[in-house]
Amino acid sequence: MKPNLQISKYGKYAVLIPILLCLGFVVDTNLKQNQQQNILWITCEDMSPEHLGCYGGKVAKTPNIDQLASDGVQYSKVYSTAGVCAPSRNALISGMYQTSIGGHNMRNYLPGNVKIPGLENLPNYSIVTPESFRCFPEYLRKAGYYCTNNEKQDYQFEAPVTVWDENSRKADWRGRSSKSQPFFSIINFMDTHESQIFSRDNRPLTVDPKNVILSPFVPDTEAQRKDLARHLSNIEEMDKKLGEVIAKLKEDGLYENTIIFFYSDHGDGLPYAKRELYERGLKVPLIIKFPKNANAGKKDNQLISFVDFAPTVLSLAGLDIPKFMQGQSFLGEKASKIQRKYIYAARDRMDSEVDRVRAVSDGRFKYLKNYMPDKPYYQDIQYRMSIKGMSELIQLRDQGKLSGLQMHWFRSNKPQEELFDTSVDPFETNNLAERPEFKTKLLELRAMHEQWLRKYGDLGSISESEVVKKWQAGKDYNLKTGNPKISPSSNFVKIECSTKGASIGYKRHKSDLSWKVYDKPIKVSKGDTIICFAHRIGSLSSDVITRVF
């Protein structure tokens, strides 16, 4: 039996005081002592920063995002760990590089029509996380936070229901039992996703195709202009929805004392952007609005990776950062004293197509290591062929009607190493790897890549089927998590699970709508009912155990 995820009525309070550090200045939160921070993530999909007015965009109108930037701090060098959603979201929820825990492929739950050449017998699988691993919202819930997600997860594993008080299309902070309970909420917008370029094809455009500025990689055709206009129109629609969320916060009197993150899950969903490790695939907008609009309008140029988001939220909440996390906090009382010098990213199997590429960037120079140089840059991924401009590109290629940079994507093989200066070559077309004057930088970034591999490991170096076999050989993989044991002692009960790494959830009453996170012995009285279960990521959840006292 698997417990249902619903709304919680549980909360208690911690007493830590967050200190926000950013750009070397102290952010004045203007909060009373012992008051925890409310934190809201507003996320969108498949969108690079340059389309937004506050990042220099001239075509799409994004007044609500621009106002948020005016009220907050705007970050200019923020990178996802992959150019596609599931591996990036794996890094966001874990604070770990997806390559280190097996979440690097896109994705491990495949539709029945996706067949992988050479891996035809690969089963749908969950990754198996380290025993010490917990999704970071569990730590917030233990500290008394009300945590919600609306609604996409896509973590490369089924999240235990202990992660969220509520995960649904309607979930937000309003489900709290008390207005004084601190919250962490995620609002996800799908409007800008790659799929919305073709699924909204018949909707009216709010951006005139004549006004868009095309990439140099595509010909100037009606289809290409319409696709980009559709994408920008979707961004305008997303901006309106963000405005509605902000209005809701203000209506509830929460805007002034809530830390608001706005970001995209990776770069653009357009052809030769999504799934790639170029700036257009990895670089994302990030705006953070602090309480009382502290440091409003400031710009921050420090390097930030998606693996830094989880430890930063815990730091803002005044909580310790677990040792298993590989990112570093850039805000709060646990903020790293040393700013990040490099970001790392990975490209692996994309649906049916296998490749392995790794990237390191210092914010200006980008190093790419192509582990399968015999493979072409372009991959025949069927999902994106629904985009009219994508199918047109293939048709024009086959007809010999593309030239110059329009054929850049369709090169038949890759060098083992590439190096780009993104400050003067934003589209990353001029490989500097063999230029003598850039040898020092090449050696530096190559060494950083090799150091990253040694420090964190890379399961992409092993075939996917071998990784799954290793997990299947483990005693916990895809088996049922051990049933929890309830042990009474005086007026308290202790709950234990024999399966190492399992999260334990419990309820006090059958009428409770969600599962609390077990952290320490629970005080009980005669007549109380304790209901509990356990779930180890990579295994099935245990039975639900009930005991009346």
Specify burial of residue 195 (Cβ count, 10 A radius: 0-12, 13-18, 19+): middle
List the helix and strand counts (H, then E) for the chain. Answer: 11, 21
Going by the DSSP 8-state scheme, the letter that residue 422 receives in this structure is: T
Neighbours of 120 (CB within 10 A): 7
Question: Are the C-beta atoms of residues 527 and 548 closer than 8 Å to each other?
Answer: yes
Alpha-helical (H) ranges within 28-173 are 63-71, 85-94, 98-101, 137-142
Which residue in 246, 221, 233 sits closest to 191, CA to CA?
A: 233
Catalytic residue among 54, 85, 135, 532: 85
CA-atom Rg of the chain in angstroms: 24
- Residue 195's alpha-carbon distances to 173, 200, 216, 269, 467, in angstroms, are 29, 8, 22, 8, 30
Strands 283-289 and 73-79: antiparallel
Which residue in 135, 18, 237, 178 sits closest to 503, CA to CA?
A: 135
Give the integer Cα–Cα distance in Å for 405 and 391. 18
Question: Are the C-beta atoms of residues 39 and 331 closer than 8 Å to each other?
Answer: no
Neighbours of 527 (CB within 10 A): 7
Neighbours of 214 (CB within 10 A): 15
Which residue in 125, 94, 128 sits closest to 110, CA to CA?
A: 125
First to last CA, the chain: 23
Give the integer Cα–Cα distance in Å for 360 and 547. 53
Give the integer Cα–Cα distance in Å for 285 and 80. 10
Going by the DSSP 8-state scheme, the letter that residue 457 receives in this structure is: -
Strand-pair partners of 540 = 480
Helix crossing, 309-316 with 85-94: angle to 10°?
A: 30
Give the integer Cα–Cα distance in Å for 545 and 491. 19
85 is catalytic: yes
Question: Are the C-beta atoms of residues 288 and 62 closer than 8 Å to each other?
Answer: no
Question: Are the C-beta atoms of residues 307 and 97 closer than 8 Å to each other?
Answer: yes
Question: Are the C-beta atoms of residues 513 and 507 closer than 8 Å to each other?
Answer: no
Angle at CA of residue 284, ends 281 and 290, nearest 5°: 170
Q: Which amino acid is at 201?
A: D
Contacts of 497 (CB under 8 A, 6+ apart): 481, 482, 483, 484, 485, 504, 534, 542
Q: Which residues are catalytic?
A: 85
